[in-house]
Chain A
Amino acid sequence: MKLCKKFWALTVILVVLGLITVLFAAGCGKTEGSKPKLASELNLFIWSEYIPQAVLDKFEQKYGIKVNQTNYSSNEEMLAKLQAGGTSQYDVAVASDYMVEIMLNQKQPIIQVIDLNNVPNLKNIDPQYRNKVFDPDNKYSVAYVCGSAVIAVNKDKIKESIKSYKDLMNPKYKNSLVVLDDERAIIGIGLKLLGYSLNETDEEKIKQAKDVVSKLIPNIKAYDSDSPKTLLINGEAAGGVVWSAEASLAKRENPNIEIIFPEEGMYLWQDNLVITQGAPHKKEAELFINFILEPEISAMISKEFPYTNPNLEARKLLDQSVLEDKSAYPPQDVLAKGEFLRDVGEATKIYDELWSELKQKIN
């Protein structure tokens, strides 16, 4: 009996305490919210090593909005997390071309229209990076940076000349390569070697590509999309297939690193800023996108992460050495041979399954 009373008393106290906290928090929120029109935070969902902290700090200084950064290491991971946790957990996300298409092709689109009146800096973006096929009217996405997947080789460790993906399959390089942890990029190697498109939807052809790639598996030491440059710089990996800026950052640290554009044709991509469906801070999100497109800010990003900058005004502020970096600004003929990804619809399942199988292969 006594115990019972104690229990109820405790419950009542806890409930009352809880209510007080909730009311107090709500009250605080109101008084804070009524002064400035803008919210005090913004949730950004972006690739790891993709935006300098200094940029986020500057944004906070200027607008008093704190940017909470959350990272992912592949487009697929981003999509999975948005599907699992709901889209309103983030305001701004970064999605590659084909992923924008996928996000729009859902029964309920994952992203929403951006009010371009709030993004006047869009004029700074080179027209060739606007109105792309994945977003023809440029309503949902704004170009962030572009790049490719290149071959990087440490000349100290790999003496042979490497020209194509095929050269990486040499059994001499057993257990010594680092490659992207990315299904479309790696299965794409097989597709390109067979002369198919990166956007193949025919199951047989994708399976053939998987069989070709499995010859590369014994040479793979690690899968890493976040920071493959680390393995190249510290000598853990002799070479690999990595994002273009990762390769040039590795080259800055270790001049022995050579960057090679595979002769079969590169995987090209354009990453874009998008606003998620149901984003709690849409206004702030548009403000942030406009901020990123400011020439000085965009130049800051390119200095730290040397990808292709689609912002013409920002390019004017960049050093000649950055602009001459071939991996960020490849020659026209290389770009012409490259290919962008598209949404492959039903075939997405096939890529997913084959990728799981590939990754389970044990060296």
Chain B
Amino acid sequence: MKDNSGVLTTVLVEDSGKSEVNSKKRELCALISPVVFWMVVFVAIPLLLVVGVSFLQRGIYGGIEYQVTINNYIRMFNPMYFRIIWNSVVLSFFTTIICLILGYPFAYFTARAPQKIRGMLLMLTILPYWTNSLVRTYAWIILLRTEGVINTILLNIGVITAPIPMLYNESAVLIGLVYVLFPFMVLPLYTSIEKLDRSLLEAASDLGATPLKAFFKVTLPLTKSGILAGAVMVFIPSLGYFFIPDLMGGSKGLLISNLIKNQFLTARDWPFGSAISIILIAITLIIIFLYFRNAGSKEKLEVF
């Protein structure tokens, strides 16, 4: 069938003459050229620059010296850097899992809520994000610190006798990341749960499935694409948010994002910083590749 229609179009086009073909081509060029221009200027050139710099050497005081080397990559074969990458991936993984556990019920009830309050619930998810994320991070610091709001309340009502150290450790970073990235999980989940055909659930219950079984056999598999989309949208940015570990983790440089930031701002080793960035991009690409493979056909993709 497909082949036939292709032939048919060709015949039609040939019939209406060459000028038509040319103008179609021109139209296509006109439509594509802004996108190409955008991609070249804002994606390809900066990326090539980073790749290029990662093979050069740093000057004494920073900057770049134009001598080609692969030392920046060799330097990364150090257990310390492997541990940092591993720590980052683990932390991002837990951020994603916690976002999913908290976000799924939230998205589920939002999508199942009456039309009237659904909009409001979604609005409430997004509303805090109209404030600067730094300000919101500082709010968390006030809540979590040793003599902060939470510890003071718990001490006063006698639940604890000594303040719990909640700030400047890994769990603080985890809280911060989950908080900042939460809507990125909820929104794709909401879309896929809302689209779910309810008659399928009715059919499941007619066939004797308990609600729990129907959830695991019908709802969950059918919203898999939303889960995957949400997971990717949380996991990838969480690898790059350096200000959360800086502010809530006490700037102790636990993650790959801080390592990169330190290379550019304190150590002034741009080539090494670029090399680590390339590694981060590689990790991201692998994840996106896995995502595309698991999400199956294009129609099922919620984002991208």
Q: Please give the residue numbers on chain A whose beta carbons come within 8 Å of chain B beta carbons, in ascending order.
A: 1, 3-4, 7-8, 74, 76-77, 79-81, 83-84, 102, 105-106, 175, 181, 183, 220-224, 234-236, 345-346, 348-349, 352-353, 355-357, 359-360, 362-363
Contact = CB atoms under 8 A, between A and B. Distances in A.
Contacts of A102: 61
Contacts of B169: 175
B199 interface: no
Contacts of B84: 360
Given A79-B61, A84-B264, A1 B23 contact: yes
Interface of B: 23, 26-27, 30-31, 58, 60-63, 80-81, 83-84, 87, 145-148, 165, 167-169, 250-254, 259, 262-269
A77 B251 CA distance: 14
A80 B60 contact: no
A352 B169 CA distance: 24
**Most chain A CB neighbours (cut-off 10 Å) among B84, B146, B262, B266:** B266
Nearest to B145: A236
B154 to A, nearest CB: 15
Contacts of A79: 61-62, 268
A236 B164 CA distance: 11
A362 B252 contact: yes
B27 A83 contact: no
Nearest to A360: B253
B267 A236 contact: no
B264 A80 contact: yes
17 contacts: A4-B23, A4-B26, A7-B30, A7-B31, A77-B266, A83-B61, A83-B63, A84-B264, A105-B61, A175-B165, A181-B251, A222-B168, A224-B250, A345-B60, A346-B60, A353-B269, A355-B266
B269 A352 contact: yes
A356 B251 CA distance: 12
A348 B60 contact: yes
A4 B22 CA distance: 13
Nearest to A76: B266
A363 B169 CA distance: 9
B78 to A, nearest CB: 9
A236 B31 CA distance: 58
Contacts of B31: 3-4, 7
Given A223-B250, A236-B145, A8 B30 contact: yes
Given A83-B61, A353-B267, 10 more contacts: A1-B23, A77-B265, A79-B62, A79-B268, A80-B264, A221-B168, A221-B250, A223-B251, A348-B61, A352-B266
A271 B27 CA distance: 61
Given A345-B60, A362-B87, A4 B146 contact: no
Nearest to A347: B60
Contacts of B252: 220, 222-223, 359, 362-363
Contacts of A363: 252
A123 to B, nearest CB: 33
Nearest to A1: B23
B36 to A, nearest CB: 14
Contacts of A181: 251, 266
A235 B250 CA distance: 15
Nearest to B259: A360
A81 B87 CA distance: 28
B60 A356 contact: no
A1 B26 CA distance: 9
Contacts of A106: 61
Nearest to B26: A4
A27 B7 CA distance: 60
